[in-house]
Structure 1
Amino acid sequence: MASIQKFAEGGAAAERQRAMGLLAKASRAELQEAWNGLGEKPAVQPVRGPETGLVMVRGRIGGGGAPFNLGEATVSRASIRLEDGTVGHGQALGTDGSKSRLAAIFDALFQQPARKAEVEGLLAAIATRLADEDEAKARQTAATRVDFFTMVRGED
Structure 2
Amino acid sequence: MTNESLDTSNAPRKRWLAVLARADTPALEQAAAALGELPPLEHVRPSEPGMVMLRGRVGGTGDAFNLGEATVTRCALRVGAGALGVGYALGRDKRKAELIALFDALLQDPARQASIQRDVVDMLAGEQAARRDAAGRSAAASKVEFFTMVRGEA
- Do these two structures clear the TM 0.5 threshold for a shared fold by scoring above it? yes
Tell me, which stretches of 5 or more residues in structure 2 are unaligned?
none
1:10–1:72 distance in 2 versus 1, CA, 3 Å:
closer
Shift of 1:10: 4.8
Aligned partner of 1:42 in structure 2 is: 39
The CA RMSD over aligned residues, in Å, is 2.1
Give, in whole Å, the separation in 2 of the partners of 1:47 and 1:61: 39
Give, in whole Å, the separation in 2 of the partners of 1:11 and 1:60: 25
Aligned partner of 2:73 in structure 1 is: 76
Q: Percent identity?
A: 45
Instruction: Write out the 4+ residue segments of structure 1 that deviate beyond 6 Å after TM superposition.
Output: 153-156
TM-score by length of 2: 0.89
Aligned partner of 2:147 in structure 1 is: 149
Please tell me the residue identity of whatever aligns with 1:48: R
Spell out the pairing of 1:60-99 with structure 2 (5 A cutoff).
Answer: 60-99=57-96
Shift of 1:143: 1.8
Shift of 1:119: 2.0
Q: Does 1:28 align with 2:25?
A: yes
Give, in whole Å, the separation in 2 of the partners of 1:63 and 1:40: 46
Aligned partner of 2:122 in structure 1 is: 124
**Cα offsets for 1:49-108 (capped at 9, x unmatched):** 200001011111111111111111111000001212411000000101111011101000
In the alignment, is the contact (CA less than 8 A) between 2:82 and 2:105 conserved in 1?
no
Tell me, which stretches of 5 or more residues in structure 1 are unaligned?
none
In the alignment, is the contact (CA less than 8 A) between 2:20 and 2:121 conserved in 1?
yes
TM-score by length of 1: 0.88
Q: Does 1:101 align with 2:98?
A: yes
